[in-house]
Amino acid sequence: MDGLEKILSDAETLLRQERELYGGTIYREPMKKQRTAPAPPAAPVPSADVPAAAAAPWQSAPDLAAMNRMICTCTQCALGSTRTKFVFGVGDPNADLMVIGEAPGADEDAQGEPFVGRAGQLLNKILEAVQFRREEVYIANILKCRPPGNRKPEPGEVEQCEPYLWRQIELVKPKFILCLGLTAAQTLLRTTESMGQLRLSTHLYRNTPVIVTYHPAALLRNPNWKRPTWEDVQRLRKLYDEARAT
């Protein structure tokens, strides 16, 4: 039985890594350094017909604190009844850099703050390595509530919750966005491209430059991805410094 459990555990880890790299299909393509992936179109502006929550009063919230008070008891999807705490976001409300992940995990669900567990500690180190402090960026997720078992967000959950993120971005007005992980990147950029493809380009979300890299939780499972992540955040820092110099 122990041998079977190990085989199943190894298979689960492999499939998780494949999803983080290549999305819904298992597909391997060597990264070509000179390849330029086409930038996807800007995400659509929320409106009353996409989804119904987009027309709610919080859409006119004057700031993040007011918005949080309006939505922190949200039960628009089933996750509202299984969460411990609503995980709105944290950081500088006027940050130049916004960091976006997939969804809260167990530690985040317990504390009500994004990226506070082992992955969050690693994220802090990654940011510090390129001269960003956690306190001077703004951190949020696609979902505000933890999916049971840390499973991938379901389409209906994303449909209900993503408009909250849209409004957060509108209020923060970041100059750059760093997407952590394939789910966050594919959702925000409306694409099905793999992580290998997405990392090749600087994308745009409503004219805001977006850099895509691996989720810190993935780095804990596969340290080989730390080097490309370092390259990604170095590129982010270079673009950020260039923008400030102009």
Q: Is residue 120 part of a domain?
A: yes
Domains: count for the chain: 1
Q: Which residues of 54-70 are buried (b: 16+ CB within 10 A; e: fewer)?
A: bebebbebeebeebbeb
Residue 5 inside a domain? The answer is no
pLDDT of residue 41: 44
Residue 179 neighbours by CB distance under 10 Å: 26
Check which CATH number belongs to the domain holding 144 and give it: 3.40.470.10
pLDDT value for 138: 98
* Residue 56, pLDDT score: 84
pLDDT of residue 64: 98
Q: Would you say residue 135 lies in a domain? A: yes
Domain-located, residue 35: no
Q: What is the pLDDT, as a whole number, of residue 246?
A: 84
Domain assignment of residue 61, yes or no: yes
Low-confidence spans in the chain with pLDDT less than 70 = 1-55
pLDDT at 39: 45
Decide if 158 is inside a domain. Answer: yes
Answer yes or no: is 79 within a domain: yes
**Whether the Cβ atoms of residue 181 and residue 212 lie closer than 8 Å to each other:** no
Q: What is the pLDDT of residue 10?
A: 57
State residue 147's pLDDT score.
95
Find the distance separating the first CA and the last CA of the chain, reported in whole Å. 63
Which domain, by its residues, includes 78? 42-245
Looking at residue 31, its pLDDT comes to: 38
Question: What does the alpha-carbon distance between residue 192 and residue 194 come to, in Å, rounded to a whole number?
Answer: 7
